[in-house]
Amino acid sequence: MTNKYMYFIANWKMFGDLKSLKSLDKVIKFSKSKNIGKGRLIYCPPYTLISSFWKKFKNCQIDIGGQNCHESENYGPYTGFVNSRMLKNIGANYVIIGHSENREQGENDKLINLKIKNALKAKLKVIFCIGETLVEKRKKKTQSILTKQIKVGLYKIKNKSNIFIAYEPVWAIGTGIVPKSEDLLKTIKFIKSKFKDKPPKILYGGSVNPHNIKILKEINNIDGFLIGGASQSSKKFIDIVKKTYT
């Protein structure tokens, strides 16, 4: 059983509308109960819902993040985009950067590095996603891929205290498959070994649910979870937190 602070980050992706707000009542109640243990809850809804979530969470400890941001620190003629200053301005304290679903759309490590730098400047905490694809895993390239993603993604960023690394193997996202415990333990250890000083907090993401959390929580070098599908159900999200602490 763990007794440390753990981060539970709900990544709602492109789901949710105003009707979804009602479902948060359960989570708000839970966040005020002692069952939350040392859990820290963060919701990353689509941009359209950030303000509504902020109002909803005003009197509780649940934090809010964006799911991505534009790389420019200034406002500008970028139709359809939002930058980190704008996120901070409407109440977000976190932002997910480098998610594989955005990498698939063409985001590369250099661009991700720029986004992270400007998000940190805007005083956001960054959830920096890394992970290998199935093909890369089969070719035994996991470590070299992670090394490159970390090296380029965090290039010239000295102070890493506001960075969380989310290890999300691409083949585990939305598939119901999670890595074997011994492999995950080894990979998290490997990621930590890339930092000379104190490593950032490391989260795991990819098909986390109320069933497999019992196994995942035993991996003692993990500081929390990035949860997609299961986080859209308040019941499942609460169950994941509860089961981490029992």
Q: Does residue 45 belong to the site contacting ligand PGA (CB under 6 A)?
A: no
Sole binder of ligand PGA in the list 228, 240, 241, 244 (CB under 6 A): 228
107 counts as binding ligand PGA under rule CB under 6 A: no
Cα of 195 vs its chain's centroid, Å: 19
134 binds ligand PGA (CB under 6 A): no
Min CB(74)–ligand PGA separation in Å = 29
> In the numeric block, which tokens belong to residue 184?
């995950």
Which residues are CB-contacts of 126 (< 8 A; sequence separation ≥ 6)? 94, 95, 97, 116, 119, 120, 162, 163, 164
Closer CB to ligand PGA, 85 or 131, in the complex: 131
Task: Establish whether 168 is a catalytic residue.
Answer: yes
Neighbours of 176 (CB within 10 A): 11
Q: Which is nearer to ligand PGA, 180 or 198 (CB)?
A: 180
| Residues forming a β-bridge with 44 | 11
Residue of 5, 75, 174, 246 that binds ligand PGA (CB under 6 A): 174
Tokens of 240: 């994941």
Residue 239 CB coordination number (10 Å): 17
Nearest to 225 by CA among 180, 153, 165: 165
Closest approach of ligand PGA to the CB of residue 132, in Å = 14
Catalytic-labelled residue, pool 70, 71, 99, 132: 99
Least Å distance, CB 167 to ligand PGA, is 11
Q: Is 73 a catalytic residue?
A: no
Coil vs helix vs strand at 118: helix
Token pair, residue 42, equals 């963060």
**Choice among 71, 101, 107, 168 that is catalytic:** 168
Residue pointed to by tokens 């509308």: 17
The site map against ligand PGA for 184-223 (x = CB under 6 A) is ---------------------xxxx---------------
Nearest-CB residue to ligand PGA? 228
Site pattern 144..173 for ligand PGA (x: CB under 6 A): ------------------------x----x
Least Å distance, CB 97 to ligand PGA, is 12
Q: Can you say whether the dihedral through the CA atoms of 127, 133, 137, 142 is positive or negative?
A: negative
Q: Which of 201, 214, 203, 199 is nearest to 246 (CA)?
A: 214
Structure tokens belonging to residue 124: 């956001």
Least Å from the CB of residue 100 to ligand PGA: 7
Question: Which spans of this chain sit near ligand PGA (rule: CB under 6 A)?
Answer: 11, 168, 173-174, 205-208, 226-230
